Amino acid sequence: MSRFGMKSSVGSVARRWVVALAVIGATPVWAEEKPAVGGAAAAAAPAKPEDVMAAKGLVKQGALWLTKEDAAMADDLRKFRLAKLAFDADTKKRVETEAKIKQAKSAVAQWEYQYRALNDKLSKGIADAFQHNKAVAEVNALASKIKEGEEFVKEREGEMGKFNASRETYITALVELSDKMEAATKAYEALAKDDEVTKALIVINDKAKPKNKLGPSADLTQNVALIKRQRGDVNSAIVRVTYEANTPHVDVTLNGKVTRSMILDSGASSIALTAASAKEIGLVPGPADPLIRMQLADGRLYDARRMMIKSVKVGQFLIEDVECAVLPATLVAAEDLLGGSFLKHFVYKLDPDAKELHLSQVKKK
């Protein structure tokens, strides 16, 4: 009750004054302020420490805060180990298959020499009918052996192509894993010096049990040295490629003294040299050198001679004792080819846009 005997309240009076002042456009300085909703007050609220860690690209695994690369490390390591197992198994098979191919080629070369010698003898004539028939039978037997030997070599070389797939998978997995580990290690070095991360962990650990820590994970710390060592066993380089009439060419040094621009032909089973290029490095084919059938880009078939180049160098890579096919001198328009007998030693990728040949090779133990 008011002193005049009237019921009233501060609230009702205040509401009337607010309404009155609102009508005349005034604002009572004593009017009660309500807290803002979703405005400046909300924006001023401190971020949760977990949000700070997430903003830094960290994810929580158990009591560890890890980079995204490190969080996926266990799966990446599993894939890498599977690739390494397949590569090791295929490497053993590769060595065995290469030995079989070498033996078969040697046998075929010997049979071809005997075949040519007998044919030459028959062409001159053998008076004795028995000896003549015997020579014919031997020629036919040798022809059969040569065919079987060539088919054997072709099948084994096909197997070699399969082995290349596991090598490529392994090198790719190794390089990618190594890069991820290096990136994660550098990230942790920076995060360890980040005041926001340090303060967020202090707040989190005020209540956390067990205490939270910044990574790395055990997968990273226990494997980074091993992966770095294995990465050191892989040589990688980029070789410049030039194009002539839309055909890729690379500079190749033969026997350490002659450099030629050669067509890069991944479809060719062997290096092919013109008679002139072969002669320049001291390769002059003779009748004792095995004949091999070559199909050139125009589709024509030619008999070439199989010989060995002492060394072939492309970029920083040097391969010794490389098989080649020396083309007949009659092929005056032929060009030198860099083919499979060199490329089989590498994982390679041609980037036509950048005009680059990417080569990677695992060091031999």
Looking at per-residue pLDDT, the higher value among 154 and 240 belongs to: 240
What CA–CA distance (Å, rounded) separates 326 from 332?
Answer: 13
pLDDT recorded at residue 187 = 95
Distance CA 362, CA 233 (A): 6
Query: Which class in CATH covers the domain with range 51-232?
Result: mainly alpha
Token digits of residue 67: 């980079």
Beta bridge partners of 235: 361
24-35 pLDDT tens trace: 344 333 334 444
Which conformational region is residue 299 in: left (phi greater than 0), alpha (psi within -120 to 50 degrees), or beta? Answer: left
Tell me the mean pLDDT in the region 206-234: 94
In angstroms, the CA 169 to CA 163 distance is 10
Cα 4 vs. chain centroid, distance in angstroms? 97
The pLDDT of residue 43 is 52
Report which DSSP code applies to 329: T
pLDDT (tens digit per residue) in 337-360: 999 999 989 989 999 999 999 999
pLDDT (tens digit per residue) in 53-81: 999 999 999 999 999 999 999 999 999 99
- Structure confidence at residue 178 (pLDDT): 95
Other Cβ atoms less than 10 A from the Cβ of 155: the count is 13
> Which residues of the chain form CATH 2.40.70.10?
236-362
Q: Which residue has the tokens 């994982």?
A: 347
- 8 Å CB contact between 177 and 91: no
For residues 277 and 258, the answer to whether their CB atoms sit within 8 Å is yes
Q: Where in the chain is the domain with CATH 1.10.287?
A: 51-232
CATH number assigned to the domain with residue range 236-362, chosen from the 4 options 3.30.365.10, 2.40.50.140, 2.40.70.10, 2.60.40.10: 2.40.70.10
Q: Residues 6 or more apart from 163 whose CB is under 8 A from it? A: 90, 91, 93, 94, 97
Radius of gyration of the chain (CA): 39
Q: What is the pLDDT of the chain when averaged over all its residues? A: 86
15 compared with 258, residue with greater pLDDT: 258
- For the record, the structure tokens of 156 come out as 């084994």
pTM score, whole prediction: 0.67
Mean pLDDT of 244-255: 95
Asked whether residue 182 carries a pLDDT value surpassing 90, the answer given is yes
What is the reported pLDDT for 160?
83
- For a pLDDT cut of 70, what percent of the chain falls above it? 86
Once rounded to an integer, what is the mean pLDDT over residues 228-252?
94
Give per-residue pLDDT as tens, 279-323: 999 999 998 888 888 776 667 778 899 999 999 999 999 999 999
Beta strands in the chain (DSSP E): 58-61, 64-67, 213-214, 234-240, 242-244, 247-254, 258-264, 271-273, 291-295, 301-314, 317-326, 337-338, 347-351, 356-362
